[in-house]
């Protein structure tokens, strides 16, 4: 109890003194040098804790062993299964490209969790924002694709996706800032509404008349599909995603906006007293996050799926939430986690073909991998 | 039998598969723990119930197995969030993915098998009331269990010491601890029992009114249950209303279409979520949110 109180006290003290130079609202501090980090985020003040590193490593090993046991119960050889998984996702050029390609929507939707998380907001709505991005891209792509030059339709689809995602997340942002409705809850509800909107569209108004009864939209015109890079399976969407990911890292780590978000996330009251426009910052984090997820949905649709189908996102939005958690809301680590989850998701196909296991078994591994850091989570003081 | 009656009957049958997990989620959230893994607990319960019913030829034993397996998944969630202080939302999603994977792997041998489902028990007297009888009193035993549970949970919440401690745990665990209680034990118990009810809700699907097993058969019911608790603002009687509202919306479209009314099922499906969203905003605006304080804290410190 006393420790908690002291933590909170030191925290607010440091957060109040930190943003002094931010207080003057006329001069936005664009180039704040290596930002002093609020106490709530600075976990690195302790010396290297070898015991903890050992425990965390053991927890991850435990996850791998537990998955091996599940596999063994189903009569497959765990070593052969792990071999198949690695071979079918990274060791072969073609499959590595697929892993990277599938990671695009996961990584962007994960960054959509990361940005609001910096400001202390919880975005569980990656799924809905991905869906709305894909829906908007389909709407624009089917309407203008083939009638305008390719690059015009690519930009239009990406832009429409980003705007749709931003609107979808922005609804929760406004409900939060104007009406104080919990954003974790509203983003979750909006996922299901987005899914129903998409299903409505592809079962009725957008249904492909030549789709032999399948519920799917009309496919994009060839010119509207994102072009491949150098005869590989990758497309220019990867470049766009990479630029956006690096931009996100830069914005969060190196700009006044990113710093202000962290101050708000560290201690909202102190940020308000220091003159930061807290509500505006909170809303901007949701809008930026939603735009990234929407872009992810649009790039996935325009580059990979090329038409809207019921399982176009296949729970990637929730996987993305876990990726941001696993990457501790650090943009580069989050992208790494997204690549890992993409590989795990993709490895299911290989297991089905080679080891005769149901492909969905990889969901178990995904859960176990996140279980390790969850179980090892440090006790946190409650900074309210 | 007209369309409205058919819709309401379907609403009660399907609504029960939402009501039971929603009541379970209500218990957990009142103790301060949200379980996004409710969907996973339902899936685990649905498969366990079906497998047990297939082996023992008793659907009732299946329901018991559903409770146990649901509670086991809930126990994992409770251990992670209560004992290890893990992020509640992430932990819930982990439980969901674990259940999704495990049930598709261990469920393959049960696909396209048939079990004797729970029998339909028409209640004597009540079941013969015109109109009301077929809608409310001509169902399997889990539907009646839902009615009884709402009353029991209301009584326990508001008329017993256990309920007082449970609700106090969800608001201020430190006060419960100071009064000599064990808030962590209360939370663990609440999450496990709640998840057990989610497992029984899964059983209502697999050995109740659907009567077979297929991958991902709960198809979002568990998430609907979480939404219903929000819609109900954490009150058991409103949970009953919310669950049947969602149930009726899910049942209405197919019945309406069969009667030649062109209505899109998915727009109808989205309606209860929209109502929930509006209800939430209205509560938040009134500033009289009944959300347990501990729950609000847990959601805010996510990450």
What is the pLDDT, as a whole number, of residue A45?
52
Residues of B in contact with A357 (CB under 8 A): 105
Most A CBs within 10 Å, among B76, B78, B98, to test the A interface: B98
Confirm or reject contact between B215 and chain A (CB < 8 A): yes
Write down the residue that tokens 């994960």 correspond to: A110
Q: Is 70 exceeded by the pLDDT of residue B10?
A: yes
User: pLDDT tens digits, residue range B77-124?
Assistant: 999 999 988 889 999 999 999 999 999 889 988 988 888 888 888 888
Residues of B in contact with A363 (CB under 8 A): 97-98, 100-101, 104
% of chain A beyond a pLDDT of 70: 86
Task: Identify the H or E element spanning B139.
Answer: strand B138-140
Pairwise CB contact (< 8 Å): A321 & B93: yes
How would you label B228-244 residue by residue, b for 16+ Cβ within 10 Å and e otherwise? bbbbbbbbbebbbbbbb
CA distance B143 to B147: 7
Of all residues in chain A, the one with the smallest CA distance to B296 is A182
What residues pair up with B121 in beta bridges, in sequence order?
Answer: B139
Nearest residue to A357 via CA among A126, A105, A78: A78
Which of A9-23, A92-106, B125-139, B195-209 is predicted with the least confidence, judged by mean pLDDT?
A9-23
CA distance B267 to B271: 7
CA distance A108 to A110: 5
How would you label A338-348 residue by residue, b for 16+ Cβ within 10 Å and e otherwise? bbbbbbbbbbb
Residues 167-196 of B with CB under 8 A from A: 174
Q: Is 70 exceeded by the pLDDT of residue B11?
A: yes
Kindly report the nearest CA distance between residue A144 and chain B, in angstroms. 26
Residues 66-85 of B with CB under 8 A from A: 80, 84-85
Residues of B in contact with A70 (CB under 8 A): 102, 105
3-state secondary structure of A379: coil
**CA A253 from centroid of its chain's CA atoms:** 17
Residues 114-173 of B with CB under 8 A from A: none
Nearest CB among B86, B223, B301 relative to A192 is that of B223
Residues of A in contact with B292 (CB under 8 A): none
Instruction: Pick the more confident residue, A6 or B63.
Output: B63
DSSP assignment of A159-171 equals HHHHHHHHHHHHH
Provide the token pair at A310: 């019921």
Confirm or reject contact between A175 and chain B (CB < 8 A): yes
Nearest CB among A318, A329, A380 relative to B85 is that of A380
Provide the token pair at A106: 């996961």
What is the pLDDT, as a whole number, of residue B2?
73
What is the pLDDT, as a whole number, of residue B265?
79
User: pLDDT tens digits, residue range A43-59?
Assistant: 545 567 788 788 888 88
Confirm or reject contact between B86 and chain A (CB < 8 A): yes
Q: How far is CA A91 from CA A41, A84, A238, A304, in A?
A: 37, 10, 20, 22
Kindly report the nearest CA distance between residue A332 and chain B, in angstroms. 16
Residues 332-371 of A with CB under 8 A from B: 357-358, 360-368, 370-371
Pairwise CB contact (< 8 Å): B220 & A192: yes
Q: How far is CA A18 from CA A15, A122, B165, B186, in A?
A: 5, 24, 42, 41
What is the pLDDT, as a whole number, of residue B286?
63
What is the pLDDT, as a whole number, of residue A378?
59
Nearest residue to A157 via CA among A137, A138, A143: A137
Q: How far is CA B28 from CA A93, B21, B65, B95, in A?
A: 47, 11, 20, 15
- Whether the CB-CB separation of A364 and B95 falls below 8 Å is answered with no
Question: Stretch A223-228: mean pLDDT, rounded?
Answer: 85
CA distance A80 to A66: 15
Confirm or reject contact between A382 and chain B (CB < 8 A): yes
Pairwise CB contact (< 8 Å): A200 & B264: yes
CA distance B86 to A379: 8
Residues of A in contact with B270 (CB under 8 A): 192-193, 196-197, 200
Provide the token pair at A265: 């996330």
Pairwise CB contact (< 8 Å): B302 & A122: yes
3-state secondary structure of A306: coil
A382 pLDDT band (50/70/90 cuts)? very low
Confirm or reject contact between A12 and chain B (CB < 8 A): no
- Whether the CB-CB separation of B247 and B135 falls below 8 Å is answered with no
Q: How far is CA B93 from CA A194, A315, A370, B100, B172, in A?
A: 19, 11, 10, 10, 25
Confirm or reject contact between A197 and chain B (CB < 8 A): yes
Q: Would you call B267 exposed, middle or buried from its count of C-beta atoms within 10 A (0-12, 13-18, 19+)?
A: middle
Residues of B in contact with A268 (CB under 8 A): none
Question: Stretch B167-184: mean pLDDT, rounded?
Answer: 90
Provide the token pair at A35: 């930002």
């Amino acid at each position: 109890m006393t420790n908690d109180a002291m933590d909170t006290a030191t925290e607010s003290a440091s957060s109040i003194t930190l943003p002094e130079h931010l207080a003057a609202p006329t001069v936005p501090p664009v180039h704040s040098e290596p930002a002093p980090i609020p106490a709530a985020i600075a976990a690195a003040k302790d010396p290297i804790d070898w015991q903890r590193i050992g425990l965390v490593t053991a927890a991850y090993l435990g996850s791998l062993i537990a998955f091996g046991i599940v596999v063994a119960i189903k009569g497959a050889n765990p070593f052969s299964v792990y071999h198949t998984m690695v071979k079918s996702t990274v060791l072969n050029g073609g499959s590595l490209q697929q892993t990277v390609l599938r990671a695009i929507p996961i990584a962007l939707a994960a960054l959509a969790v990361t940005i609001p998380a910096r400001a202390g907001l919880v975005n569980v709505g990656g799924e809905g924002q991905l869906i709305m991005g894909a829906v908007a891209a389909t709407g624009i792509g089917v309407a203008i694709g083939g009638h305008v030059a390719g690059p015009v339709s690519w930009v239009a689809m990406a832009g429409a996706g980003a705007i749709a995602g931003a609107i979808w997340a922005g609804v929760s942002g406004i409900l939060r800032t104007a009406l104080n409705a919990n954003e974790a809850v509203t983003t979750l509800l909006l996922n299901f509404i987005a899914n129903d909107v998409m299903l409505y569209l592809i079962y009725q108004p957008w249904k492909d008349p030549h789709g032999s009864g399948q519920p799917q939209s009309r496919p994009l015109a060839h010119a509207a599909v994102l072009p491949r890079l150098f005869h590989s399976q990758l497309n220019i969407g990867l470049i766009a995603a990479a630029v956006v990911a690096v931009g996100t890292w830069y914005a969060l780590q190196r700009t006044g906006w990113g710093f202000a978000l962290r101050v708000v996330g560290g201690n909202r009251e102190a940020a308000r007293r220091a003159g930061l426009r807290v509500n505006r910052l909170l809303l901007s984090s949701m809008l930026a996050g939603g735009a990234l997820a929407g872009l992810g949905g649009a790039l996935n649709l325009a580059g990979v799926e090329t038409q809207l189908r019921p399982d176009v996102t296949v729970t990637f939005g929730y996987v993305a939430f876990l990726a941001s958690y696993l990457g501790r809301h650090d943009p580069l680590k989050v992208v790494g986690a997204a690549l890992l989850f993409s590989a795990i998701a993709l490895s299911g196909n290989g297991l089905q073909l080679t080891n005769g296991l149901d492909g969905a078994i990889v969901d178990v591994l995904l859960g176990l991998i996140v279980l390790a850091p969850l179980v090892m989570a440090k006790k946190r003081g409650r900074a309210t | 039998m007209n369309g409205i009656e058919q819709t309401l009957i379907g609403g009660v049958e399907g609504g029960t598969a939402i009501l039971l997990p929603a009541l379970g989620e209500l218990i957990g959230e009142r103790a301060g723990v949200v379980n996004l893994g409710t969907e996973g607990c339902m899936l685990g319960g649905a498969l366990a119930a079906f497998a047990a019913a297939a082996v023992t030829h008793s659907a009732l034993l299946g329901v018991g197995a559903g409770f146990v397996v649901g509670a086991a998944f809930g126990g994992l969630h409770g251990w992670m969030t209560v004992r290890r202080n893990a992020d509640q939302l992430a932990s819930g999603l982990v439980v969901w993915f674990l259940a999704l994977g495990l049930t598709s792997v261990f469920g393959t041998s049960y696909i396209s098998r048939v079990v004797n489902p729970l029998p339909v028990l028409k209640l004597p007297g009540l079941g013969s009331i015109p109109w009301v009888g077929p809608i409310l009193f001509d169902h399997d035993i889990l539907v009646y269990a839902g009615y009884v549970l709402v009353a029991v949970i209301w009584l326990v919440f508001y008329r017993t010491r256990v309920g007082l401690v449970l609700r106090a745990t969800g608001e201020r665990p430190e006060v419960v601890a100071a009064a000599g209680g064990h808030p962590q034990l209360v939370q663990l118990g609440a999450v496990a029992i709640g998840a057990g009810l989610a497992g029984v809700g899964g059983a209502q699907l697999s050995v109740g009114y659907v009567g077979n097993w297929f991958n991902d058969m709960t198809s979002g019911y568990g998430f609907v249950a979480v939404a219903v608790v929000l819609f109900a603002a954490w009150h058991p009687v409103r949970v009953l209303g919310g669950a049947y509202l969602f149930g009726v919306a899910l049942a209405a479209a197919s019945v309406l279409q069969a009667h030649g009314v062109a209505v899109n099922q998915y727009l109808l499906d989205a309606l209860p979520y929209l109502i929930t969203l509006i209800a939430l905003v209205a509560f938040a605006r009134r500033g009289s949110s009944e959300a347990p304080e501990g729950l609000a804290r847990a959601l805010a410190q996510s990450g």
